[in-house]
């Protein structure tokens, strides 16, 4: 039984917290994945995984072993990359995580031409509005908005994203258009709960920056849902420009306070500093930077 196969099985099962899902990721049977992990634990003389009927979790020893195991698997992948470069063909798995709203549409649209160009690259997209622990979840690449807080991660900027305040012409005709951001206190504001402070809207830049507290009758963890409700005339929303763009184009929304917008949110491609970037992952990051850098934030 090849030790590399045992290590791959262990890493996949740990990432998926499941022998069944880990085996499916590798394209082998659950029984074989279990055999591989048991063999690895036997060779090491240590228990790497806690097994229950509901879930598989890492032991402390397993977590320490996983952190050292992944770079070795990456190095082996790098050897395969050398061959792929010579053949001009990319192949192998990439596990990506991204916010649900952005990932389900904008990211998927960007991934389509990459997959068409590289059909042997196996992309697994995990959509989640929480930041998944990348090493423990077996994530190769995360696409995230906002500043990087974890020093063990490396980020590459993909693009800037305008945050716009929008309302429908119908809402403004009924309730009046606020002349200044402070007037939002008297309006029904629609809150995006994935923001760090949903009820604190920032306007302006640098020394002129100020925060306005808002409230309203609708809140959602999806920026696209907030844009939809604003387009239906329910209230005033603050959301990423890309979610409002279809409604701005057809006139169902208009931008307010355009001259007082705050700094754009930044979209990053994020990966663990301890992981070797395989050729296929580097190629995907370059592809995403090209896609999102071409007027995406306009």
DSSP-assigned letters across all residues of the chain = --HHHHHHHHHHHHHHTSHHHHHHHHTS-HHHHHHHHHHHHHHHTS--EEE-SS-EEE-HHHHHHHHHHHHHHHHHHHHHHHHHHHHT---EEEEEEE-HHHIIIIIHHHHHHHHHH-TTEEEEEEE-SS---TTTTT-SEEEEES----TTEEEEEEEEE-EEEEE-HHHHHHH---SSGGGGGGS-EEEETTSSSTTEEEESSGGG-EEEE---S-EES-HHHHHHHHHTTS-EEEEEHHHHHHHHHTTS-EEE-GGG--PPEEEEEEEETTS---HHHHHHHHHHHHHHTTTTT-
Burial code of 220-253, b = ≥16 C-beta within 10 A, e = fewer?
Answer: bbbbbbbbbbbbebbbbbbbbbbbbeebbeeebb
User: Torsion angle of alpha carbons 106, 111, 114, 115, nearest 10°?
Assistant: -150
Share of the chain above pLDDT 90, in %: 46
Distance, in Å, from the CA atom of 231 to the CA atom of 254, rounded to the nearest integer, reads: 9
The tokens describing 8, both together, are 């791959």
- DSSP-derived letter for residue 89 is -
- Give yes or no for residue 87 having a pLDDT over 70: no
Q: What is the residue-averaged pLDDT of the chain?
A: 87
pLDDT-derived band at 191 (thresholds 50, 70, 90) equals: very high
Residue 286 to residue 20: CA distance in whole angstroms: 33
pLDDT at site 176: 95
Pairing between β-strand 92-98 and β-strand 56-58 as defined by DSSP bridges: unpaired
Q: Is the pLDDT of residue 84 over 70?
A: no
Mean pLDDT of 177-185: 95
Q: Is the pLDDT of residue 244 over 90?
A: yes
Strand-by-strand arrangement of the 265-272 sheet: 121-127, 92-98, 141-145, 265-272, 153-161
Banded pLDDT at 252 (limits 50, 70, 90): very high
Q: Which of 97-101, 127-131, 184-188 has the highest mean pLDDT?
A: 184-188
pTM of the complete model beyond 0.75:
no
Confidence of residue 297 (pLDDT cuts 50, 70, 90): very low
Tell me how far CA of residue 37 lies from CA of 3, 26, 112, 242, in angstroms.
10, 13, 35, 45
Q: Specify the 3-state DSSP secondary structure of 64.
A: helix
pLDDT at residue 298 above 60? no
The answer to which of 3-7, 146-150, 199-203 has the lowest mean pLDDT is: 146-150
CB 260 within 8 A of CB 179: no
User: Which position has the higher pLDDT, 284 or 151?
Assistant: 284
**Percent of the chain whose predicted confidence (pLDDT) is above 70:** 92
Averaged pLDDT for residues 4-13? 88
Angle among Cα 181, 186, 191 to the nearest 5 degrees reads 70
pLDDT confidence band for 150 (50 / 70 / 90):
low
Contact 163, 262 (CB under 8 A): yes
What percent of the residues of the chain are helix, what percent strand, and what percent coil, each to the nearest 5? 45, 25, 30
- Give SS3 for 221: coil
Instruction: Between 4 and 170, name the one with better pLDDT.
Output: 170
pLDDT for position 187:
97
Q: Give the pLDDT score at 203.
A: 94
Q: Is pLDDT at 85 greater than 70 in this prediction? A: no
Q: What is the mean pLDDT of residues 69-90?
A: 71
Q: What's the pLDDT score for residue 296? A: 52
Task: Say what the pLDDT of residue 146 is.
Answer: 78
């Amino acid at each position: 039984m090849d030790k590399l196969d045992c290590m791959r099985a262990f890493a996949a099962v740990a990432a998926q917290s499941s022998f069944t899902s880990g085996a499916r990721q590798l394209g082998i049977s659950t029984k074989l994945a279990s055999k591989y992990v048991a063999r690895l634990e036997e060779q090491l003389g240590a228990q790497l995984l806690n097994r229950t009927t509901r879930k598989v979790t890492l032991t402390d020893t397993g977590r320490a072993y996983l952190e050292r195991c992944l770079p070795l698997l990456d190095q082996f992948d790098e050897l395969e990359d050398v061959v792929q470069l010579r053949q001009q063909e990319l192949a192998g798995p990439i596990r990506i995580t991204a916010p649900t709203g952005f990932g389900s549409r904008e990211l998927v649209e960007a991934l389509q031409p990459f997959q068409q160009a590289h059909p042997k690259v196996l992309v697994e997209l995990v959509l989640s509005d929480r930041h998944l622990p990348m090493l423990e979840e077996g994530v190769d690449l995360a696409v995230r908005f906002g500043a990087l807080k974890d020093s063990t991660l490396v980020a590459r900027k993909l693009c800037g994203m305008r945050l716009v305040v929008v309302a429908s012409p119908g809402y403004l005709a009924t309730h009046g258009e606020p002349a200044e951001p402070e007037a939002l206190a008297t309006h029904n504001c629609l809150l995006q709960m994935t923001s760090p402070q949903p009820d604190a809207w920032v306007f302006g830049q640098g020394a002129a920056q100020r925060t306005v507290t808002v409230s309203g009758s609708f809140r959602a963890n999806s920026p696209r849902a907030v844009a939809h409700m604003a387009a239906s005339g329910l209230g005033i929303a603050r959301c990423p420009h890309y979610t409002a763009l279809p409604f701005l184009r057809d006139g169902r929304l208009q931008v307010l306070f355009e001259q007082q917008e705050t700094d754009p949110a930044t979209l990053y491609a994020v990966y663990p500093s301890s992981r070797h970037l395989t050729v296929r992952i580097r190629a995907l990051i370059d592809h995403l930077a090209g896609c999102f850098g071409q007027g995406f934030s306009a």
